[in-house]
Every structure is written in structure tokens, then in C-alpha cells.
Amino acid sequence: MNYLAHLYLATVLTDYSKRQASLAALPADLSKRPASLSGWAGQTGLADGCEESIVGSLLGDFVKGDGYDDYSTGIRQAILLHRQVDAYSNAHPVYRRSKRRIHSSYRHTKGILLDLFYDHFLARNWDQYAAEPLPAFTRRVYSALKAHLDILPPRLRQILPRMAADDWLLAYRDITNIGLALAALSRRLGRENELHRGLDELQANYADLEGDFRAFFPEIVDYVATLKDVTL
């Protein structure tokens, strides 16, 4: 999943909410809401320092079904919103256009490729979207995850030390690291797949995919900001 974009939107909405007189919570049954913009998670700014929204935005890739019930309100809402915006991204015309740019041989793994490609573009262009430098942001993310280590799924808890030590989120800026990440994902999937060749798709379609990202990302940021109007 595109961790960096999820985390960015979690923080954007939290910071936005601090400028509002009040902020409504997300609906408990978010799955019944109409689908809305992109495939990257946002958050409603429920925790001081954004720690719960950071943790919840990542847990959205690990917690399935109604497994979110055991978490705090802030984390639970971040997980639900993660699902909401993920679902809509598949219907967004710009996201669909990006998928069509990728060779048909990648079939069901096209979404995995786009997650990493879009994170690469966000990392490379971070200063255009955030005042906080990317290295400072990623340190804050790792700190929040370590502070909630006891509630992290085993897989995330296992990779966190390496993720922080090698600063995987910052590493997305380097196209070489995208290739390394895709090779690792290909091995982890087990079944036959072409992900290890995915960097070729990014290099062959770089300008067009970056154009898609630049068209898409401001829209999802605006959408996430509108979620201040939803009620529990």
C-alpha cells in the first residue's frame, strides 16, 4: 500500500482540523456512505500530535473486517476512513487512467504498482505539498508507531525496526528504491507475478504518471478536508 500518501493525508486533515472551531467525527458505519474521491486514507484529526491518525492510517492495510472494534475511537475512525477513500480511488478517472498506462500483463497487481509510483512522486515533490520537511515527518511517523507498538499487527511490528532504521518512507524519493521495494513485494507474494519488473513501467511512463499524480493529489487533499462535515 502507498504508506506515504496515507500518512500525509492523515496529517493534513488533522492539521486542518486544528484551524476549525469544531470538527465532527466520522460515521460509525462508513461502509454505507457514498464512495468519495481517492484511494489514499485521510483522518479527522482526533489526537494531539496526530499519533492516532498516523497509526490508524497504516493499520488500515492490516486490519480486516470488523477487527477495528478493539481500537480507540481515533484509530478506529482512521481505519474506516482509510477504507472509504481506498475504495473510491478505484473509480477515480485519473487513477483509472494511470492503470491503463501500465501493461496488461500486470493484471491485478497494477494497483500495487500505482501505490508505490504515487508515493514516489509525493516524496519527490513533498515540499510542494507540506511545510514540514519530509525527514522530520518520517521521524514523527516512526515515533508514533513505536509509541503504539503493543497494538501493531505482528507483521508491522516485525518490519518497523528496519523501516525506521533505513527510513523506507524517505527512500521512496529514489527511483532505485522503488525497484527494490517491488522486488521484495514480488518475493513476498509467493505466487507468480511480474512485480519485480514493475520499475520498467514507471520509467517508460514517468512523465505521464507524474502528470496523473499532480492532477489527482490536490483533489484528494481537498476531499479529505471536506470530511470535517461528516457526523457520527
- 59-78 per-position pLDDT tens digit: 888 888 888 888 988 888 88
138: nearest Cα among 47, 11, 1:
11
166 part of a folded domain = yes
pLDDT at 27 over 80: no
Candidate from 106-110, 163-167, 196-200, 227-231 with smallest mean pLDDT: 227-231
- Give the residue among 55, 65, 70, 62 at the shortest CA–CA distance from 6: 55
Whole-model pTM above 0.95?
no
Confidence class of residue 14 from pLDDT cuts 50, 70 and 90? Answer: low
Residue 182 lies in a domain: yes
Q: State how far the Cα of 194 lies from the Cα of 62, in Å rounded to an integer.
A: 23
Distance, CA of 81 to chain centre = 11
Confirm whether 140 is domain-assigned: yes
Q: When comparing pLDDT for 49 and 87, which is higher?
A: 87
Which residues, in sequence order, are CB contacts of 18 under 8 Å at separation 6+?
A: 45
In a domain, 78, yes or no: yes
Query: If 0-12 CB within 10 Å is exposed, 13-18 middle and 19+ buried, where does residue 227 land?
Result: buried
| Alpha carbons 130 and 138: distance in angstroms, whole number | 12
- Of how many residues is the chain composed? 232
Percentage helix, strand, coil for the chain under 3-state DSSP, each rounded to 5? 70, 0, 30
- The answer as to whether 110 is a domain residue is yes
Report yes or no on 64 lying in a domain. Answer: yes
Asked whether the predicted pLDDT for residue 225 surpasses 80, the reply is no
3-state SS class at 203: helix
CA distance 127 to 34: 32
Domain housing 7: 3-227
Within-domain flag for 232: no
51 domain residue, yes or no: yes
Count how many domains the chain has.
Answer: 1
